[in-house]
Amino acid sequence: MGGVGARKLRELSAADSLKRLASAQYGRIVYSRRGLPIIRPVNHIVEEDVVVVRAHLGASLLRGDGQVVAYEADSFDEHTRQGWSVIVTGVARVVMDPEQVQRYETLLDPWINLPMDHVIRIETEVVTGLELIDEAG
């Protein structure tokens, strides 16, 4: 293993998981289209226990308001082989309130050059997080 010591997984609390998720610049949203999983990278913000992303009009995620989705973000150091992964599962809803939409549009700057027509809030139901640490830690 090239001098890297043994590792173990440590479960993170929901609060610590959400803090780590908030520190990540981007993650991956997982949703279903025709019964098959679709995964897309996207940037986000976290407010308390809600994850907020923006999407363009053609996004198949928007084909059903109230769809159950998963959202994952992680951070790993390939040299130390330490890091963490957080997954939240919940219901995705399109934000309709114009004031909230404007606020989120200000807070979330998309990374791609497409018009982002919708703001989506993921109301978390399940939060899980794991940290890969030194065996001695």
Q: Mind listing the domains of the chain with CATH numbers?
A: 10-132 (2.30.110.10)
Please state the pTM of the whole predicted model: 0.86
What pLDDT tens digit does each residue of the chain (137 aa) get?
Answer: 445 568 889 999 999 999 999 999 999 999 888 888 989 898 999 998 999 998 865 566 656 568 899 999 999 998 888 999 999 999 999 888 999 988 998 888 877 776 667 889 999 999 999 999 887 75
94 beta partners: 120
88: Cβ contacts below 8 Å, ≥ 6 apart = 17, 18, 21, 51, 70, 71, 72, 122, 124, 126, 127, 128
